[in-house]
């Protein structure tokens, strides 16, 4: 009922999650996409306004909820508990796809404690497929030579692409023109 996609920045996590979301829509499923920061912010606002129950209901409606960028931005105090309420409400009722560049061992730091992180992981991973993508950033592959080795997420597996040639292709040379320039 869930998928967890983990990889370094620029490896295609969000692209893959969105592609799966598009396929779900094509199959007639309802889909909602948001970053973790946006979801937690909306839940915190709803809690302050006394409308948390309605907001949770709204986020439980889609058949697929895609939560992007877990761990990219710090979660606000209490945000881990709010996100747990959402995960718990959707548990075994609706599919989720999560993307992150952080390992499970770092979730305690992300969500403000190991207790809430363990509870989240328990529910999220129960029926999940975990996809680990390895490789260098697609966005930086053409500029890898400008990045210091210690700043690269992974070594490049292929050389940078050659620049595209503009204009007409060069004329083919025959043996006569090569002998008589």
Find the CATH number of the domain harbouring 105.
Answer: 3.40.50.300
**pLDDT reported for residue 12:** 80
Residue at 181 is within a domain: no
Q: What is the mean pLDDT of residues 116-139?
A: 88
For residue 85, give its domain range.
Answer: 2-158
171 in a domain, yes or no? no
* pLDDT value of residue 149: 58
- Number of structural domains in the chain: 1
Whole-model pTM?
0.76
Question: Considering the domain boundaries, does residue 166 fall inside one?
Answer: no
- The answer to whether residue 174 is domain-embedded is no
Q: At what angle do helices 114-124 and 79-90 cross, to 10 degrees?
A: 20
The CA–CA distances, whole Å, from 19 to 25, 76, 84, 108 equal 10, 29, 26, 29
Each residue of 34-75: pLDDT tens digit?
Answer: 999 999 999 999 999 999 999 999 999 999 999 999 999 989
Confidence of residue 141 (pLDDT cuts 50, 70, 90): low
Determine whether 63 is exposed, middle or buried from the number of CB atoms within 10 Å of its CB (0-12, 13-18, 19+).
middle
Query: Which of 80, 4, 64 has the alpha carbon at shortest distance from 32?
Result: 64
Within-domain flag for 120: yes
Band of pLDDT at residue 135, cut at 50, 70 and 90: confident
Q: Is residue 97 part of a domain?
A: yes
Work out the average pLDDT over 91-120. Answer: 95
Are 1 and 127 in contact, with CB atoms under 8 Å apart? yes
Give domain status of residue 61, yes or no. yes
**In-domain check, residue 104:** yes
More confident residue, 143 or 92: 92
């Amino acid at each position: 009922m869930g998928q967890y996609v983990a990889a370094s920045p620029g490896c295609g996590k969000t692209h893959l999650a969105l592609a799966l979301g598009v396929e779900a829509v094509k199959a007639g499923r309802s889909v909602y996409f948001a970053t973790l920061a946006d979801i937690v912010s909306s839940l915190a606002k709803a809690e302050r306004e006394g409308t948390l129950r309605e907001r949770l209901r709204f986020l439980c409606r889609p058949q697929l909820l895609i939560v992007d960028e877990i761990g990219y931005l710090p979660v606000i105090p209490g945000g881990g508990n709010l996100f747990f309420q959402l995960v718990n409400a959707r548990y075994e009722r609706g599919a989720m796809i999560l993307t992150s560049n952080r390992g499970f061992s770092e979730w305690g730091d992300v969500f403000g404690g190991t207790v809430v992180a363990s509870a989240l992981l328990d529910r999220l991973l129960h029926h999940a497929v975990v996809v680990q993508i390895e490789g260098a950033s697609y966005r930086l592959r053409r500029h890898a030579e400008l990045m210091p080795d210690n700043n690269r997420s992974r070594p490049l597996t292929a050389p940078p692409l050659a620049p595209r040639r503009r204009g007409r292709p060069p004329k083919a040379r025959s043996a006569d023109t090569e002998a008589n320039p």
